[in-house]
Amino acid sequence: MRSIPLPIQRLIREFNKLPGIGSKTSERFVFHLLRQPTAEIEALARSLHELKDTIRLCSDCFTVSENDFCGICENPERSKQIICVVAEPKDVMAFEKTGTYSGVYHVLGGVIDHAHGTGPDQLRIKELLTRVASGGVTEIILATNPDMEGETTAAFIAKQLKDQSSIQITKIARGLPMGGNIEFADEITLGNAMSGRQNI
Amino acid sequence: MRSIPLPIQRLIREFNKLPGIGSKTSERFVFHLLRQPTAEIEALARSLHELKDTIRLCSDCFTVSENDFCGICENPERSKQIICVVAEPKDVMAFEKTGTYSGVYHVLGGVIDHAHGTGPDQLRIKELLTRVASGGVTEIILATNPDMEGETTAAFIAKQLKDQSSIQITKIARGLPMGGNIEFADEITLGNAMSGRQNI
């Protein structure tokens, strides 16, 4: 492979580090970029620098932000009474896309995962309790993934909050996904859909 | 989506332009990078700048190169008597990985594709004829893809070369791919495998 220019080999290696990207796809990216105008490659490089230089975490909710406080926490139209607790900033993004939530968030920075060495102390649970203790919060929505780590984390936080306060604690609904098929749904999903049934 | 910092939205858009990358994957890339040390993001940005600043086309064979002439054309161990004609620089890379070819290349910069407005004049066929005319070449291997455009391009070049010289013109073998299955091979592949049979 010494016949391949080093800058190309290096960029292939860099793209190869992105999640789910194998060396073939990485090569395709590089040869695609080589066919683009220089401005296109510059735009990608500039966006990367900008990400590195400008993104920090919101001091209130710990989601990604350009300033000390994120656009959601700073928006006067968002209710500070409801806090939706999520694992990662990308979960905030997913909920924001739905356009159905008008409260604020709290990003834990992960989930309890003893197998990978993440305990409750490494998450921003203390910061959540502090926000709750400062008053004004009426509801905490636990919105972690419906897997073992997510459920464990939600249960842990629910317990901590119940010990401390009398605010409402809810969990996002489990059930059949849109476009789902009862026939092929797994038992747990179907059981959740049944037990979480709603009046129409 | 105004709640998502602009630098994040911009980088998502940039990654989204890469071939085969949808917005979900693009988001996953950005949130992956946000979890990496700054040095990782810098390395990717630097590699992009390096690509843009240092890669040009070899003056002899038109593959990607850091200098006026590529590492293959400059390597005294590579035979200048054999030229393998390919469509794109990435095809050079694919052959180089096999480690079985010791001649040089000629990159056409595409294939004849009238549907997308690429005629023979937009390819580096004139440059190939000039290389051949300058003497010393004994064999031209036509190594375009086994599809209609690739076959058309190979046939066109073969005709031009036959009109001009008496050097050997070959085409890379068609047949069953490694790991292939006779039962499920299409008729053309199977027909090619039969007609191209070799002594063992």
**Statement to judge: residues A92 and A161 lie in one domain:** yes
- Same domain for A42 and A91? no
Residue A22 domain-assigned? yes
Q: Do A89 and A152 fall within a single domain?
A: yes
Q: Give the whole-number percent of chain A exceeding pLDDT 90.
A: 74
What domain range is A14 assigned to? 6-54
Q: Using an 8 Å Cβ cutoff, are B61 and B73 in contact?
A: yes
Q: Is residue B144 part of a domain?
A: yes
What is the spatial distance between Cα B107 and Cα A83, in angstroms, rounded to a whole number? 59
Number of domains chain B is built from? 2
Q: Is residue A182 part of a domain?
A: no
Helix (H) or strand (E) holding A103: strand A103-107
A19 to chain B: which residues are within 8 Å by CB? 28-29, 32
Is the CB of A54 less than 8 angstroms away from the CB of B15?
Answer: no
Question: What integer is the mean pLDDT of A144-164?
Answer: 90
Indicate if B83 and B160 belong to the same structural domain. Answer: yes
Residue B66 inside a domain? The answer is no
CATH number for A155: 3.40.1360.10
Do B80 and B167 lie in one domain? The reply is yes
Looking at CA atoms only, how far is residue A119 from chain B in angstroms? 18
Q: What is the mean pLDDT of residues B63-72?
A: 94
Per-residue pLDDT at B1 exceeds 70: no
Task: Evaluate whether residue B107 is within a structural domain.
Answer: yes
Residue A4 has a pLDDT of 85
Alpha helices (H) in chain B, listed in sequence order: 6-16, 23-35, 38-54, 71-74, 89-98, 125-133, 148-164, 187-195
What is the secondary structure of B17-34 as a DSSP string? TSTT--HHHHHHHHHHHH
β-strands A64-65, A56-57: how paired?
Answer: antiparallel
Check residues A100 and A108 and name the one with the higher pLDDT: A108
CATH number of the domain that residue B38 is part of: 1.10.8.420
The CA distance from B167 to B151, in Å, is: 20
Asked if residue A140 belongs to a domain, the reply is yes
pLDDT at A1 over 80: no
Residue A153 belongs to a domain: yes
Provide DSSP, A109-148.
Answer: SS--BGGGTB-GGGTTHHHHHHHHHTS---EEEE---SSH
Task: Dump pLDDT digits (tens) for B26-35.
Answer: 999 999 999 8
Q: Testing the interface with A: which of B2, B4, B41, B86 to mutate, by most A Cβ within 10 A? A: B4
Q: What is the pLDDT of residue B2?
A: 65
Tokens linked to A90: 């990308």
Indicate whether B81 and B132 sit together in one domain: yes
pLDDT band at residue B17, thresholds of 50, 70 and 90?
very high
Query: Mean pLDDT score of chain A, rounded to an integer?
Result: 91
The β-bridge relationship of strands B64-65 and B56-57 is antiparallel
Is residue B81 over pLDDT 70? yes
Residue A198: the pLDDT is 76
Q: How much is the pLDDT for A85?
A: 95
* DSSP tag of B113: B
Is A85 part of any domain?
yes
Asked whether B136 and B81 are in contact (CB, 8 A), the reply is yes
> pLDDT tens digits for A14-27?
999 999 999 999 99
